Amino acid sequence: MRFTTTLAAGALAMGAAALDAKNYLGFNSGANLADTSAKFKKDFKAEFETAAALKNAPGKFNAVRLYTNIQAYSQDDPIEAFEAAIETDTRILLGVWASGTDNIDKEITALKKAVEKHGSKLTDLVIGVNIGSEDLYRVSATGIKNKSGVGNSPQAIVGFIDDWKKAFKGTAIGKVPIGHADTWDVWGNSTNKAVIDAIDFVSVHEYPYYENDKGNHIDNAGSLFDRAYQATIDAVGDKPVWVTETGWPYVGPDWDEAEASVKNAKKYWDEVGCRKLFNKTPTFWYTLRDSNPENKMKFAITDNLSTTPRFDLTCPDSFETPEEDEESSTTGGAKPTKTEGSSQATTMTTASNADPTSDGDGSESGTQDGAESGTQDGAESGTQDGAEETGSSDDNDDAAASLKVSAVAIIAAIGGVLALF
Ligand SMILES: *[C@@H]1O[C@H](CO)[C@@H](O)[C@H](O)[C@H]1NC(C)=O
Ligand SMILES: *[C@@H]1O[C@H](CO)[C@@H](O)[C@H](O)[C@H]1NC(C)=O
Ligand SMILES: *[C@@H]1O[C@H](CO)[C@@H](O)[C@H](O)[C@H]1NC(C)=O
C-alpha cells in the first residue's frame, strides 16, 4: 500500500475527491455467487480489477455498490469486498441489509470490526452508505402484488438510520453521507417522506425495460428513464439523487415492447448512461456480471469478467432521445433529435483508455446479487437483486415502476438454509 510520509496529504486529496461525487462510476455487487455460495476476497478483487480496466469505458469504473457489510457464511464478520477494495483502490458505497429484520446490529458490528482492522485505509474509500435497498418497494402495492419478498416499513428504515448514526457518531464513518436505495416510484409516495427527511442523498433504481404498458420499446427507453428520474428529483426536493441500479438485458424474454438484445443493451448504455448519467451523477450500472440463474434476463456487460465487454462502451457524440424539456418528452412523442455529447465524457474516455491494467479472471462466472447476506441466521438472509424480475403493469406513475418477483428471495432463502448445515 502507498502509506508513507505523504499519508496526510494523500488523505486530504482523497477527501477532496470524495466531495466531487459526480464522477463515481461503478457496478452493483452482491455477497454471493450465482450458485448462492459466498463471494470471497478473490471474487470481489477480480470484479474490481475488471471494472477499472474495461475497454473504451467512458471513465474509470472504480467504485462498487454493496448490499451488506456482512461476509456471507458469517454472523457478523466484515465482507471481504472491503479488503479487495483497499487492494484495488475502489470506492465503496456501503449497503446495509434492512429487510426481514428488526435491527441492523450485525451490520454495524461487521463494519466496526473492519474499521478497527483497516482504519483510514478503509474509511477513506467509503463514499456513502445506503440503509436498505428496495425495502419500501417490496411493501408497496406493486411489490406486494408481485410477491417481491419481505420488505420493511419507512418507520423501520428511519429507526435503522438513527441506530447507524448513534453507532458511528464522532467517527470517520459518522461523516459518511447516508442514503436509502429504492425504485423510482417509491419516492413519490408521501407515506415514505420520513425516509427522505432522514437521509442525505437518494439512491434510485430505474429499469425502463420493465415498464410495460408505457411504450417500453428501446427507442423510448431514454425518455422513460428521464420521466422517472425527474419524478424522483421532484419528489425528493434538494437531496442529491444517485442512480444505483439501471441497465438493459442483453438476452431474455421480451417484456411488453421491450426486447432484450446486445444491440439494445448498447443503445441503453448510450442513451441513458452516456447521455444522462456518466460523469454527471454517481452511477452504479446493472451490471458487470450476471447473478441469479433463475432470472432469464441477463444484464452482464462482460462474459467471465473479460475487460472486453460484449458491446463497445465508447460513448457516441450525439443521441436520439428527445430533450427533456420538450413538450413531447412523454411516451409517444419520441421524435429523435440529435444533441451534442458532452466534452467531459470525451475527456474521460481518453483518460480511461490510457489505463488498461487487467484482463480479468476467467474463472468466476456469475454472481448472485440476491443473496446479499448468506449468514447462518435465517432472518439475515434477505435478498436483493437489482433487476432479477422487475417490471410493472400499472399506468399510474405514483404507484408503479418496477417489480421484483420472489425468485431471488427463494434463492436467498435456500442460501440461508444451506448455511445452517
Ligand atoms: C406507500 O408507502 C407505504 C409505506 O411504504 C406502503 O405501505 C404503501 O403500500 C405505498 N402505496 C402504494 C400505492 O404503493
Ligand atoms: C465463460 O465461462 C464459462 C464457464 O467456464 C464457459 O463455458 C464459457 O464459454 C465462457 N465464455 C466465454 C465468452 O469465454
Ligand atoms: C406482476 O408481475 C407480472 C409478471 O411477473 C407482470 O406481468 C405484472 O404486470 C406485474 N403486476 C404489476 C402490478 O406490476
Q: Where are the domains of the chain?
A: 7-419
pLDDT (0 to 100) of residue 292: 72
**69-109, pLDDT tens digit by residue?**
999 999 999 999 999 999 999 999 999 999 999 999 999 99
Select the highest-mean-pLDDT range: 166-180, 286-300, 350-364, 385-399.
166-180
Give 310 or 328, the one with higher predicted confidence.
Answer: 310
What was the pLDDT predicted at 293? 75
Q: Which ligand 1 atom minimizes the distance to the CA of 154?
A: 5
Q: Is 380 a catalytic residue?
A: no
Q: Determine the Cα angle at 169 with ends 167 and 173, to 5°.
A: 85
The neighbouring-strand residues paired with 392 are 211
- The share of the chain scoring above pLDDT 70, in percent, equals 71
Q: Using alpha carbons, list the distances in angstroms from residue 120 to 7, 76, 79, 401.
A: 10, 21, 17, 39
| Ligand 1 neighbours (beta carbon < 6 A) | 136, 139-141, 154, 189, 191-192, 399
Q: Measuring CA to CA, which residue among 389, 393, 385, 383 is closest to residue 413?
A: 383
| Average pLDDT, integer, range 8-18 | 41
Torsion over CA: 371, 297, 270, 395 (sign): negative
- Give the number of whichever ligand sits closest to the CA of residue 214: 3
Residue nearest to atom 4 of ligand 2 (CA): 365
Rounded CA gap, 402 and 259, in Å?
16
Is pLDDT at 366 greater than 80 in this prediction?
no
Confidence of residue 20 (pLDDT cuts 50, 70, 90): low
| pLDDT at site 185 | 96
Closest CA to 129 of 83, 165, 93: 93
Q: Provide the pLDDT confidence category of residue 22 given band limits of 50, 70 and 90.
A: low
Best residue among 393, 394, 398, 406 to mutate for probing ligand 3's pocket (most ligand atoms within 8 Å of CB) is: 393
Class of domain 7-419: alpha beta
Overall average pLDDT of the 326-350 stretch: 33
Tally DSSP H helices, then E strands, for the chain: 14, 12
